[in-house]
Every structure is written in structure tokens, then in C-alpha cells.
Structure 1
């Protein structure tokens, strides 16, 4: 059986934040090959500043030049195009088969938008680059197979926009992608997926909202095709109760803050963001640019290390499935 030996491409994030630091720390310790996508001179200087030795054998570079030397904690419009190019370069490395996965350090959305880029997030960027009409954001509490996995039907939307966004077509696509990725990338032959309702008490039989009756329940019934156990819609305030959540291979929540507070409480330090539905594996740290501590050498690289570990596992599972 073949296993993936392709390196993972690490996009090193906002250069004024902690992205370069956590990328270098994780890459130097990685047991598998990695390609650091970013300004090579900046990354080598970061390694020296951290007291790390010369790059180990498993580390290579895909050089993308900075527009100007970054100042830790100080965002620069001039480097916005650099950040976007690191993402585009990582996509190309995966698309042409050079890399087996992309792992992303955090970027600062605000500076990219101020610089004129239409950027709503990594998830949306890679979906557009790959020409995929629908992807699913899933966060996991750790790289372990039995970690808590929380997928989202909607992502970065104002709360008032969520009910209108939850359509039959959306739920059909999200559930299809989630089932397939659990089977292929996570190697779970028959996954169990718990689905949260939208409203308090999952609508209380229509007394607190009707979306569970009119949209969510019919979609779950359509998804029950024998390939997975689909349970719900369940009240979101009890879906994560200990003793219950251990039974689910994944939980599907209707909106961002319905599912992620629990996920981050359970596993913030090793949390990983996974994009489901791409033609390649994409994982990410589950934290921001931390401009306030950039350049101090104290950033916690556990989330990046976990993202690398998970990307390696998922890529191997995919490769084995296609063998």
C-alpha cells in the first residue's frame, strides 16, 4: 500500500505576527518533510533569533520575497501582496503534486482587505483557488483520531444572516462533504455525525423556531443513505455534554459561535482548523497573529505542530484510499 511521502507546504502567515515564529519552530521539529513558503532570508533570520541550528534535512524553502522588512507587531500594507502570494504559491505546489498538503499560519484579514484584496479567510481563498464551489470548515481539538471534531454549516457570517443562509442545498452539500471526508481522510468507514439545531432547544417542536422542522430535519433524512449514522437535530446546549459527545465522530453546528467555544475550551493549545472538500489536504493553526507578542520568541507552536501532524495523517489516509 502506498503512503504519502510528499512534503507539506507551510504558509508562514502575516510577517509582522507570530506566523514565522511558530512555522519555524514546528518545521525544525517536524518528523516529515516540509516546505516553508515565505521569504527565505526572513525565516532563516527568525530561526537564528530563536537560537535554532541550521535548517534540518527535512526543511526546504519556496522563496517569496517580502516587499519590505517587517517590524514585529506593526502591520504594513506593503506586505499584503506578499501574504496573498504565499497562499497562491502553496496552492500551486499542491495542485501540481509537489506538496501533499498545505498548512497555514495565521494572517491578518484587516490589512489584506485594507490593501484592496477581497479576502474573507483561508477557507474561502483555497476553495476559490481550487475551483471548488463548496468547502466545509471543521475544527478539531487535537490531531488524534478520537479528537472532538466540529464542522460548521456556515462560517463568517453576521448572526442575523445565518437563518437565511441555512438552505436545503447548503445542508445537502455540507453533509455530503462531511461524510465523505470522515470516510476518506479520517478513515472512518461508517461515521456517526450529530447535528445541532439552529434554535434554542432545537426549536422546541416549532415553538422557538421552525427551521428544524422545515429545513434541517428533511436534510438529515436525505443524508441517511446508509453510509453514516446521522443524529439530530439536537439542542446545541446539550450536544457537547460529556458522555454524549464521545459517541460522535463529528458534530455539525449551524454557525460559528454555536460550536467553536466548546471546541476551543476542550483543545485550544492543540486545536486545528481543517478545510474539507478541497482536492488536497489543508490544515491551519487555530489562533490569530498575536501581534502583541510577535518578535518576543514566546509564541506557543503546539497548534502549528498539531496542524502539521494532522495534515500528514490525513494525506496518508487519502493516498492509501486512492492506492
Structure 2
């Protein structure tokens, strides 16, 4: 979710799902140590509980970045060894590390030693020719022995050559049964499931087999699904899209007052009316106007008015 789940996105998602654990974009440990920390790591107190997702393959630097994250107040640090993008591979982090379980274990041991907050791992089922359950389970066992007891499993393997990141999210088959089996055979571990989860029925089915589910692109492209999932699991009333968006208003105004451009916040709400009458008008008004100088909350109200008008006409 690099370039997607920034601090503005996470505040909006917190309003949609008050108790979900939110994750940052993946940030390389070197960027944490050498870059603009406030830009990379700053977050609003509204976001708790929130996890910092790190990339990297150098134990000492990952440990140092973990200490920084803990000092910033993050509730968890997650090491991503599942991202298959070219730029990630070139830097020897992400999914290519599934070929080096001993190195991942070294990284986890160093990170666990660095801070008292939980350290978790997000991974794939395997990469390239490494696609049998025994290798996957062996990777988990090696890393768990280093101190990690929570794994977020994207239930696909990744092809590091020949497939784009998008294709790696769609072409390799989903094998949920591997995550189910892992949980049955290693009940002491906490296993989350990720990948292809788009319905409430699927969430219920997975939660009968594993401890938790992670929603990624399905929650981003259809934010209301995230809210419906929260309400379904928490047993709370479903709020309207309009009500949820207006709840975002005080944060948006405070950010505008700090000089943040409206476009940086509205890009995360474009899918709120996905599949609904007026959804196209909602996206159009925001996409055309949010980048303009002086754009403010009134543009969002105009988008809502256009949406309501289109919905009425369609009724």
C-alpha cells in the first residue's frame, strides 16, 4: 500500500473502522533513519492502534528504525517480506527475503530486542520456485523461533520475474488452506489472512479458521466495505456514507489550516460512493476541483450535492 495508506488515509479509515488495527505504508528502515521523520512517521493520535510497516534487510538498521517507531508511539512494528515490486527487489527487501529465512530471523531478533512493542511479519506463501507448503511452514518456523508470534499471510505466492505487482495480486492462485493449516498445526501463533477478501461472508468464513483478516485494496477502493465489515464484526449500526464523510470534516479543516492541500485528503475518499448512484459525479467533482488553489471543504459539500442529485434522478 505504498503511496496509499498515508496519515490522512488512516484517519479516514479510523472513522470507518474504530477498532481496526491500521498499518502505515511500507517505509524503508534507511528512510526512517536518514529521511524526514515527521513526514514519514508523523501520525494523528486518532489513528491508534496503528502499526509501522518497515522494509529492509539489515538487522542493525531495522532495529534502530524499530526504536524510532516505538519512540514515536506506534503500537506495533511490522516487517514486510511480501511486497514483490521491482524497486523493492532491487533494494533486497520485500518478498525476495522469503528466500532468506535465516536473514529474516536475524532481522526479527534484532527488532524484538530493540523495543518492547510487538514485532510482526507480513509474508507470502512463497516466491518463484519455492511454492510448496513445507518450505512456507519452514520459513514461518525459522522466523517464529527468532521471536515473532504473529504473521499476516498474503495467501498467494509471488513471481519475482515475469509478473508486475498488479499481476502478482491476481494471477498466482489464492491458497487460503495453507494459512488454515498453518494455524491448525501451530495454534500458538497468531495468523492473519490477507488477499482477495471482498465480502462479509468471506470474512466470516476465514475467521472460522484463522485469528484475523487484513483488508488492503478492497478497503481502499471501496471504503464503505471497510465500515460495513467493522459494523458487522462489532455488532454496531451501519452509518451512512454522508455521515462518515462529514465526520472527517474537522480533521480536514485542521489540516487545511496547517497548509495541507485538499487533494491530499480527498484522494482517499474517492471510492466512498463506489457502485452507488451518483458515485461518478462524486468522484468527478472532487477530482476536478481538489487540486485547485483555495479548494476547501465546500468542494466536498458540492460533491455530496451532485451525488444526491444524481441519485434522486436515478430513483
TM-score normalised per structure 1? 0.28
Greater strand proportion: 1
More helix by share: 2
Q: TM-score, normalised by structure 2?
A: 0.28
